[in-house]
Amino acid sequence: MPDRILVQRAVDGDTSAFGEIVRRHSSLVRAYVYRIVGSVADTDDVVQDAFVTAWKQLPTLRDPSAVRSWLMRIAGREALALATRNSREDALDDAVLPPTSHAQPERAAIQNDRLAALSRALDRLKEDQRRCWLLREVAELSYAEIAEEMNMTDSTVRGLLARARASIAIEMEGWR
């Protein structure tokens, strides 16, 4: 069944249609959240909460066929909130902590060299740059939507994205 039909049925109360939406989109949403929060346990919690929020807000979704990016936005918001809380707690600790690692120890090693290089390059981006990149490249949000999510201006977002892409390209091409 197409996404649009599943969403319409779920809005009407069809829980098995919603279950199908969850199964269809959960792995991509999880991958996205994982790059923001960095642990599988947190990913599990955040994405679960995000789907429950999505069920409640589903009647407000204007374009049912765009449910995937809508889900990404909800999940991204909750992931960001968690990551922000976590980094604030880290900052309050007196102990000297290493910067939050965005390496992905819990997923199987990336087989493809190029993808592995990209993954490393992503890890090395500044926090804001990485988040803009994820919101744009993975969640496929518009610049205006990213600006709203990150509480920034449109031009700040464009600048961060341009910088993120430049940094990645530099590192991957070995222009150092």
Partner 1 sequence: MNDDDALECGRSIDELSSYVQAGRTPRDRHIESCPDCLNVIEALERVGQLSRDLVADDAEHLPRPPESWFEGILSVIHSELRAGRSFPIHHPDPRVTITVTEGAVRSLVRSSADELDGIYLGRTQIVGDAETPGAPVRIDLTASVAWGRSIPDLTSALRDLVYRVLAEHTELNVTAVNVAVEELHGTEGEE
150 near 157, Cβ under 8 Å?
yes
What is the contact surface with partner 1 in residues (CB under 8 A)? 1-2, 4-5, 8-9, 11-15, 18-19, 22-23, 26-28, 30-32, 34-35, 40, 43-44, 48, 51-52, 55-56, 104, 106-108, 110, 112, 114-115, 118-119, 122, 133, 137-138, 158-159, 161-163, 165-166, 168-170, 172-173, 175-176
- The C-alpha atoms of residue 110 and residue 128 are separated, in whole angstroms, by 24
- The C-alpha atoms of residue 32 and residue 150 are separated, in whole angstroms, by 16
Nearest distance in Å: CB 88, partner 1: 26
Of 144 and 170, which has the nearer Cβ to partner 1? 170
125: Cβ contacts below 8 Å, ≥ 6 apart: 133, 164, 167, 168
Of 49 and 148, which has the nearer Cβ to partner 1? 49
Nearest distance in Å: CB 174, partner 1: 10
Nearest distance in Å: CB 77, partner 1: 17
Nearest distance in Å: CB 95, partner 1: 30
Of 45 and 148, which has the nearer Cβ to partner 1? 45
CA–CA–CA angle 85, 148, 145 (5° rounding): 120
